Amino acid sequence: MAHRYYTVSWDQLHRDSKALAWRLIEKGPWTGIVAITRGGLIPAAIVARELDCRLIESVSVITYEEETRREPRVAKLPAAAGDGSGWLVVDDLVDTGTTLKVVRSLLPKAHFATVYAKPAGNPLVDTFITEVSQDTWILFPWDTEPQFVAPIARSAQPK
């Protein structure tokens, strides 16, 4: 399956993460936030600031090597979060839901929030901001550098 690419700038990520905090403020108060590493670290920091939450934990689930999906492996547990009661779990994106399934098994009572969601993973997240198509590969600002990109029309013309 060919990927479509959607580039997210630092400014857009900040605005979208702040919008996520707006949606989450009425669902709190939160005991703490668990960031799913690595992609959830920056959105979690923005959400934590906006919600004035200072207790931050992380969980590391490795599911990708570059753009290739692999069997999920938990590399770090969120020890302070217990069963997740009162905790908010934040990630940048839910794709197929593989990572969220693993983390939900660790923190079954937590509230799960992502900035972006794809249709296959959407039912596994409690709160998100923007839905993108399943074949879209989001290029986050920490993965990209500014460079020239050809107009969409050039790649959309039949060959």
83 assigned to active site: no
Between CA 28 and CA 15 the distance in angstroms is: 20
Binding site members: 38-39, 70, 91-99, 137-138
Binding site members for Mg(2+): 92
Binding site members for GMP: 70, 95-99, 137-138
Binding site members for 5-phospho-alpha-D-ribose 1-diphosphate: 38-39, 70, 91-99
Per the residue annotation, which of 11, 16, 52, 95 is the catalytic one? 95
Between CA 142 and CA 50 the distance in angstroms is: 21
92 assigned to active site: yes
74-78 long-range contacts, CB within 8 A, separation 24+: 74/102, 74/106, 76/37, 77/106, 78/34, 78/106, 78/107
* CA geometry: angle 19, 20, 26, nearest 5 deg: 100
Per the residue annotation, which of 11, 16, 91, 135 is the catalytic one? 91
Binding site members for guanine: 95, 138
95 assigned to active site: yes
Per the residue annotation, which of 92, 126, 135, 143 is the catalytic one? 92
Catalytic residues: 91-92, 95
